[in-house]
A and B are shown apart, each in its own frame.
Chain A
Amino acid sequence: MSRYARLWWSCLRQAIRRDLQFRSQTLINAFASVAELVLGLIPVLILTGTSAAEVGWNGPLTLIVVGIYGACTGLMDCFVAPNLRRIDGYVRKGELDLILIRPVNAQLFATLRWMEPAELGRVVTGLGLAVAGAHAAHLPFEAGLVIRAASWTAIGFVGFSVLWANLVYLAFWFESAEPINEVALEVREAGRYPLTYFPKSVQFVLATVVPAGLIAAVPAKVLTGTVTTLTTGLLLLTAGVALTILHWRLASRRYSSAS
Chain B
Amino acid sequence: MRLARVLRVLVTREVTIMLHYRWWLAMLQLSNIVAPAISLLVWRGAIAQGSTPPVTETFLTTYLVLVSIVAMLTSSWTSGFLADSIRLGGLSSWLVRPCSTHLNGIANNIGEKVVKLVLLVPLVAVLGIIFRSEVELPPVGVRWFAFAVSLVMAGAMTFSLDIVIGSLAFWFEDVTAVNRLRYLLARILSGSLIPLALFPAAVIPFLNAQPFRFMVSFPLEVLLGHPSGQSFALQVGWFAAFVGSAVAIWRLGLRSYQGAGA
Interface centre among B45, B181, B198, B200 (most CB of A within 10 A): B45
Contact of B23 among A32, A42, A174, A182 (CB under 8 A): A174
Report Cα–Cα, A38/B220, bound state, in Å.
Answer: 26
Within 8 A of B (CB), among A151-204: 174-180, 182-183, 185-187, 189-190, 193, 196-199, 202
Report Cα–Cα, A140/B198, bound state, in Å.
Answer: 33
Which segment, of A49-57, A98-106, A127-135, A231-239, faces chain B? A49-57
Report Cα–Cα, A197/B24, bound state, in Å.
Answer: 32
Provide the A29-54 mask, 1 if CB < 8 A to any CB of B, else 0: 10110011001001100110111101
Q: Which residue of A lies closest to B31 (CB)?
A: A182
Q: Which residue of A lies closest to B45 (CB)?
A: A197
Interface of B is mostly: helix
A35:B181 contact, CB within 8 angstroms:
yes
Within 8 A of B (CB), among A36-88: 36, 39, 42-43, 46-47, 49-52, 54-55
B residues near A185, Cβ cutoff 8 Å: 31
A180:B38 contact, CB within 8 angstroms:
no
B49:A46 contact, CB within 8 angstroms:
no
Known: A29-B177, A32-B177, A43-B188. A193 touches B42 (CB 8 A): yes
Q: How far is the CB of B189 from chain A (nearest CB, A)?
A: 9
B residues near A124, Cβ cutoff 8 Å: none
Report Cα–Cα, A96/B200, bound state, in Å.
Answer: 50
B49:A179 contact, CB within 8 angstroms:
no
Q: How far is the CB of B24 from chain A (nearest CB, A)?
A: 5
Number of residues on chain A facing chain B (CB within 8 A): 40
A182:B181 contact, CB within 8 angstroms:
no
A55:B193 contact, CB within 8 angstroms:
no
Known: A50-B51, A185-B31. A29 touches B180 (CB 8 A): yes
Inter-chain contact total with CB atoms closer than 8 Å: 105
A residues near B21, Cβ cutoff 8 Å: 176
Report Cα–Cα, A31/B27, bound state, in Å.
Answer: 29
Report Cα–Cα, A182/B30, bound state, in Å.
Answer: 9
A residues near B193, Cβ cutoff 8 Å: 43
CB of B199 within 8 Å of the partner chain: yes
Q: Which residue of A lies closest to B183 (CB)?
A: A32
Report Cα–Cα, A175/B187, bound state, in Å.
Answer: 30
CB of A28 within 8 Å of the partner chain: yes
Within 8 A of A (CB), among B165-199: 172, 174, 176-178, 180-181, 184-185, 187-188, 193-194, 198-199
Contact of B24 among A35, A46, A176, A186 (CB under 8 A): A176
Q: How far is the CB of A231 from chain B (nearest CB, A)?
A: 29
Known: A55-B46, A175-B23, A183-B31. A43 touches B39 (CB 8 A): yes
Q: Which residue of A lies closest to B172 (CB)?
A: A24
Q: How far is the CB of A9 from chain B (nearest CB, A)?
A: 27
Contact of A39 among B31, B172, B185, B199 (CB under 8 A): B185
Q: How far is the CB of A229 from chain B (nearest CB, A)?
A: 26
Contact of B43 among A24, A47, A54, A175 (CB under 8 A): A47
A47:B27 contact, CB within 8 angstroms:
no
A residues near B53, Cβ cutoff 8 Å: 50
Q: Which residue of B lies closest to A180 (CB)?
A: B27
A residues near B178, Cβ cutoff 8 Å: 28
Within 8 A of B (CB), among A197-220: 197-199, 202
Provide the B9-34 mask, 1 if CB < 8 A to any CB of A, else 0: 00000000000010111011011001
Besides A46-B194, A197-B43, 8 more A-B contacts (Cβ < 8 Å) are A22-B174, A35-B181, A47-B43, A176-B21, A185-B31, A189-B34, A198-B41, A199-B41
Closest 9 CB pairs of A and B: A52-B50, A28-B177, A182-B31, A186-B34, A179-B27, A197-B45, A197-B42, A183-B31, A179-B28
B interface residues (Cβ-Cβ under 8 A, vs A): 21, 23-25, 27-28, 30-31, 34-35, 38-39, 41-43, 45-46, 49-54, 172, 174, 176-178, 180-181, 184-185, 187-188, 193-194, 198-200
Residue contacts A-B, CB under 8 angstroms, 10 given:
A28-B181, A46-B194, A52-B51, A55-B51, A178-B24, A179-B24, A179-B27, A182-B31, A185-B31, A186-B31
A interface residues (Cβ-Cβ under 8 A, vs B): 22, 24-25, 28-29, 31-32, 35-36, 39, 42-43, 46-47, 49-52, 54-55, 174-180, 182-183, 185-187, 189-190, 193, 196-199, 202
